[in-house]
Amino acid sequence: MRSAAEFIRGLPKAELHVHIEGTLEPELKFRLAKKHGIVLPHATVEDLRRAYEFANLQSFLDIYYDGAAVLRDADDFHALTQGYLSKAHAQGVVHAEVFFDPQTHTARGITLATVLDGLCRARSEAEREFGITCRLILCFLRHLNADEAMRTLEEALPHKDAIAAVGLDSSESGHPPAKFSEVFARARREGLPAVAHAGEEGPPSYIYEALDILEVRRVDHGVRCEEDSALLERLARERVPLTICPLSNVKLKVFERIENHNLKRLLERGLCVTVNSDDPAYFGGYVLENYLAVQRGLGLSQDDLTVLARNSIEASFLADSAKQRWFAAIDDYARSAAPPRLMG
């Protein structure tokens, strides 16, 4: 009998919600700190990992932004991205759409060109070596003001060919999507599609704003949509993808336990839900571990897992021809898996 881990690892899938800064493993953080002569507040890798206990989103962001301070030059961003894409490939990810936060780095004097140099070099190398494709999504930090976001967009436009979309992340509570309406309107005029974090800590009204004001193509997180039946019906009817991050949701106390997560209910309601890792270095798992967590905690079947993989391709920014190829590959893989039953 094929184990769940073996089946999931071999299942072709996309990852659509991962912050590259959130893939900074403690070992790399210590290595880069030594390279740049930075004294870290934790003495060892083990001490740092023990600090990854969070009460909410903000308590995580505090340590997350502190960690990003070791990223100083293009080679650092290259090493970070190379590490993530290598792990993703080993777990069956065939396409990744990766968030990056320019403002986290430009505020420290690191140019956007430096960040993109490292990200794009690693992306090209991974495509040649592994065949994995990768697109970059530039995110605005919602706890900063819209003028700063607009300046970041202006700085990014000369590099538009390297950027697939724009997004909105960081502290959600008190920072509704509408705050950035003009920034996203400008991005649309420049031909950049949009995504946005909404409905993780923020209410369902933030999801409506993301859809109707920012005109997003998909909603990142979105798990609080269940609080509004009309919104649930709309998301299902319009096939608006939700990029759900199960281990993150538990780590940040959105759900107390994985068994309480609403992913299966949303899937059964016909929503285009996907499984992703968010900030895997901090939340205890990459894509494989997130799929395994919901498979075991929610009793997902092989068919459910196959639907999640198909949803991830459907929700991506891949061309239709590429999507059709991956749909066929997923279906072929699922048919070849025998027996059609999974061990835990």
- pLDDT tens across 133-149, in order? 999 999 999 999 999 99
> Which residue(s) pair with 174 in the sheet?
none
d(CA 331, CA 302): 12
User: Per residue, what are the HEC states of the chain?
Assistant: CCEHHHHHHHCCEEEEEEEHHHHCCHHHHHHHHHHHCCCCCCCCHHHHHHCCCCCCHHHHHHHHHHHHCCCCCHHHHHHHHHHHHHHHHHCCEEEEEEEECHHHHHCCCCCHHHHHHHHHHHHHHHHHHHCCEEEEEEEEECCCCHHHHHHHHHHHHHHHHHCCEEEEECCCCCCCHHHHHHHHHHHHHCCCCEEEEECCCCCHHHHHHHHHCCCCCEEEECHHHHHCHHHHHHHHHHCCCEEECHHHHHHCCCCCCHHHCCHHHHHHCCCCEEECCECHHHHCCCHHHHHHHHHHHHCCCHHHHHHHHHHHHHCCCCCHHHHHHHHHHHHHHHHHCCCCCCEC
* Single-letter code of the amino acid located at 132: I
Give me the residue label for tokens 């993301």: 210
Each of the 344 residues of the chain gets a pLDDT tens digit; together they read: 579 999 999 999 999 999 999 999 999 999 999 999 999 888 999 998 888 888 888 888 788 888 899 999 999 999 999 999 999 999 999 999 999 999 999 999 999 999 999 999 999 999 999 999 999 999 999 999 999 999 999 999 999 999 999 999 999 999 999 999 999 999 999 999 999 999 999 999 999 999 999 999 999 999 999 999 999 999 999 999 999 999 999 999 999 999 999 999 999 999 999 999 999 999 999 999 999 999 999 999 999 999 999 999 999 999 999 999 999 999 999 999 865 455 44
Give the pLDDT score at 341: 53
Give the pLDDT score at 339: 54
Catalytic residue IDs: 200
Q: Quote the pTM value.
A: 0.95
